[in-house]
């Protein structure tokens, strides 16, 4: 990440993605989805809590330590992106920053042309291995 000295979370992150199955969370059986009595519905979205729970179960870290580790990893990724670095997770994909220039857009409702200001956007490119798994 641009030669900046950061705490070593990369080896853990890489191990995590290769040795866990959390990234391919299956669509739940409708009979298994929590009903209105619990006010929780599984949307098929992987959350920070899901990641922390996986750490808790597979590695044996406490729930608090698991949540802190997930937050730490996400904070490091966020800091790198804010610093202008791309974030690559081997075997998973790369978060890439792109600078988009100013351009002219059109309001679809009125047809009026409006300038769109330059901005920085974040994109994700899945690795070839991840694309093959998701296929």
Whether 50 is in a domain gets the answer yes
| Per-residue confidence (pLDDT) for residue 105, from 0 to 100 | 95
Whether 2 is in a domain gets the answer no
pLDDT single digits (tens) 24-47: 344 445 454 444 444 445 568 999
Whether 59 is in a domain gets the answer yes
- Separation CA 54–CA 105 (nearest Å): 44
Identify the band that residue 121 occupies on the pLDDT scale cut at 50, 70 and 90: very high
Whether 1 is in a domain gets the answer no
Whether 4 is in a domain gets the answer no
Q: Is the pLDDT of residue 18 over 80?
A: no
| Per-residue confidence (pLDDT) for residue 42, from 0 to 100 | 59
pLDDT single digits (tens) 46-74: 999 999 999 999 998 899 999 999 999 99
Q: How many domains does the chain have?
A: 1
Q: Is the pLDDT of residue 10 over 70?
A: no
Whether 68 is in a domain gets the answer yes
Whether 3 is in a domain gets the answer no
Q: Give the structural domain span for 44.
A: 10-134
Q: What is the pTM of this model?
A: 0.61
Q: Is the pLDDT of residue 14 over 60?
A: no
| Per-residue confidence (pLDDT) for residue 135, from 0 to 100 | 87
Task: CATH number of the domain at 25, please.
Answer: 4.10.520.10
pLDDT single digits (tens) 76-113: 999 999 999 999 999 999 999 999 999 999 999 999 99
Q: For 126, phi and psi rounded to 5 degrees?
A: -70, 145
């Amino acid at each position: 990440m641009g030669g900046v000295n950061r705490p070593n979370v990369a080896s853990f992150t890489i191990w995590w993605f290769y040795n866990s199955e959390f990234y391919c969370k299956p669509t739940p059986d409708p009979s298994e989805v929590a009903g209105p009595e619990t006010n929780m519905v599984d949307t098929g979205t992987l959350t920070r809590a899901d990641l922390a729970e996986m750490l808790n179960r597979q590695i044996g870290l406490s729930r608090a330590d698991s949540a802190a580790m997930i937050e730490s990893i996400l904070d490091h990724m966020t800091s790198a992106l804010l610093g202008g670095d791309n974030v690559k997770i081997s075997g998973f994909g790369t978060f890439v920053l792109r600078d988009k220039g100013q351009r002219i857009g059109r309001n679809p409702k009125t047809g009026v042309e409006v300038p769109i200001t330059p901005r920085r956007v974040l994109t994700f490119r899945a690795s070839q291995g991840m694309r093959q798994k998701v296929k």
